Amino acid sequence: MSKAAELAALIGSGQAQGDKNLIINGAATVNQRGNQTASNGSAVYFVDRWNMYHNSGALAANLQQSTVVPSGQGFNNSILVDCTTADSSVGAAEVALLRQIIEGQNLQRLAYGTSGAKSLTISFWVRSTKTGIYVVDIYHADATARTQSHQYTINQADTWEYKTLTFSGDTSIATDNDNAATFYVQWVLMSGTDHTSGSLATTWQNQTDANRFVGQVNFFDSTSNNFYLTGVQIEVGDVATPFEHRSHADELIRCQRYYQSVDHYYSSGSSSVNAFYYTPLYFPINMRGTPTMTASAWGSNTGNATSYHSSTLVNGWILVSAASTAALVRGNHTNAYNLLSGRGKFDAEL
């Protein structure tokens, strides 16, 4: 076989594609936060880089990393949305979206806003108890909000199916070259009539909500319903190529730009009264921006971070200051401490 033929074979197999996938953690291998529950009116992150947003006061769902996967495809994990409280009467403005948000600087290869704007192909494996028509929507959130949406059909209940969707390039509006949220790539699970009463926007158009989720079934109509997703890939072009399997270490590094935890167990302090002793925590990977912090027990995502002053144990840490490279924390009391124990969880998500 000639070198050219070998290269063509590698490209066809997906082994010479390089960094082709715009999605991070598309195989759901990294799950630093652990399992979560959906929250009305807010985006809840669970499997790294993935969040669930809904504005229904009725529904509830468990958001999990699952080991249910399509056979023979090289996957070990999937995203699971498990409906635990149904919403069978969907309000006009209500939506439920499983999504990943992408920084503008990671989209420059698309050449949007020019005559050479490139198309995108989204491929993924999906499984659900609820059959019917679903929608994938891309919301472009820069200065002029733009959307494009495409339908796919889950044909058989509780069966893995492979789907591909192609989104045309947008010659009208460029993507900002910054670290802010630009693309919201959204798997719709439920929608009221405010987003379904028009004609589906299968080419780029200025945001018109009525044209975004047309035809979408109500996944949340029964507590028997589960929705699984894995092998998610977004690549330039009109053709879906084999999934780009990354090592766990590579995927973790990408995820830590947005969220990471630092376990700390020891700080030499002082017996001085009314003085603070700050502990620096250095991030192994620079974060997207200045993070916020929550804290839990050492080695765990639950329980309390603690600090000691003499023999007095106090729960909680306080974030003194932070940058994309490190943070300063202290114990949650007015005295100096002798021992700091816990996990700092730092969030710089979009």
What pLDDT digit, counting tens, does each position of 98-149 carry?
999 999 999 999 999 999 999 999 999 999 999 999 999 999 999 899 999 9
Tell whether 229 and 273 lie within a shared domain: no
Binning pLDDT at 50, 70 and 90, where does residue 339 land?
confident
Domain end position, chosen among 207, 228, 254? 254
Tell whether 97 and 244 lie within a shared domain: yes
**Does 301 reside within a domain?**
yes
* Among 88, 74, 64, CA closest to 226: 64
Q: Where is average pLDDT lowest: 9-23, 74-88, 185-199?
A: 9-23
Where residue 25 falls (left for φ over 0; alpha for ψ -120 to 50; beta otherwise) is: left
**237 Cβ contact partners less than 8 Å away, ≥ 6 residues apart:** 118, 119, 120, 121
Q: Looking at residue 275, what is its pLDDT?
A: 55
Tell which wins on pLDDT, 274 or 125: 125
Specify the pTM: 0.93
Can you read off the two tokens belonging to residue 234? 């977004």
Domain extent at residue 83: 14-254
What percentage of the chain exceeds 90 in pLDDT?
A: 84
**Does 68 reside within a domain?**
yes
Tell whether 224 and 301 lie within a shared domain: no
Domain of residue 311, CATH code = 2.60.40
Tell whether 211 and 322 lie within a shared domain: no
Q: Looking at residue 307, what is its pLDDT?
A: 87
Domain end position, chosen among 205, 234, 254? 254
184 close to 99: Cβ distance less than 8 angstroms? yes
Tell whether 116 and 136 lie within a shared domain: yes
DSSP3 helix / strand / coil % (the chain, rounded to 5): 10, 40, 50
Tell whether 338 and 299 lie within a shared domain: yes
Binning pLDDT at 50, 70 and 90, where does residue 337 land?
low
What percentage of the chain exceeds 70 in pLDDT?
A: 91
Is the pLDDT reported for residue 283 higher than 60? yes
Is the pLDDT reported for residue 268 higher than 70? no
Tell whether 156 and 68 lie within a shared domain: yes
**72 Cβ contact partners less than 8 Å away, ≥ 6 residues apart:** none
Domain end position, chosen among 224, 254, 284? 254
Is the pLDDT reported for residue 195 higher than 90? yes
Tell whether 158 and 295 lie within a shared domain: no
Tell whether 310 and 287 lie within a shared domain: yes
Q: In 3-state terms, what secondary structure has residue 13?
A: helix
Tell whether 72 and 153 lie within a shared domain: yes
**Does 264 reside within a domain?**
yes
Binning pLDDT at 50, 70 and 90, where does residue 25 land?
very high
pLDDT, tens digit, for every residue of 45-70?
A: 999 999 999 999 999 999 999 999 99
125 close to 160: Cβ distance less than 8 angstroms? yes
Please report, for residues 18, 103, 177, 252, the alpha-carbon distance to residue 180 in angstroms, rounded to integers and kept in the order given.
24, 5, 9, 20
Please report, for residues 41, 99, 160, 207, 343, the alpha-carbon distance to residue 223 in angstroms, rounded to integers and kept in the order given.
20, 21, 20, 32, 34
Number of structural domains (the chain) is 2
Tell whether 172 and 107 lie within a shared domain: yes
Binning pLDDT at 50, 70 and 90, where does residue 18 land?
low
Where residue 98 falls (left for φ over 0; alpha for ψ -120 to 50; beta otherwise) is: beta
Is the pLDDT reported for residue 10 higher than 80? no
**Does 166 reside within a domain?**
yes
**Does 57 reside within a domain?**
yes
Q: Looking at residue 276, what is its pLDDT?
A: 62
Q: Is 192 exposed, middle or buried (0-12, 13-18, 19+ CB in 10 A)?
A: buried
Tell whether 239 and 264 lie within a shared domain: no
**Does 6 reside within a domain?**
no
**Does 9 reside within a domain?**
no
Is the pLDDT reported for residue 37 higher than 90? yes
**43 Cβ contact partners less than 8 Å away, ≥ 6 residues apart:** 51, 52, 53, 99
**Does 7 reside within a domain?**
no
Domain of residue 186, CATH code = 2.60.120.260
Q: Looking at residue 334, what is its pLDDT?
A: 72
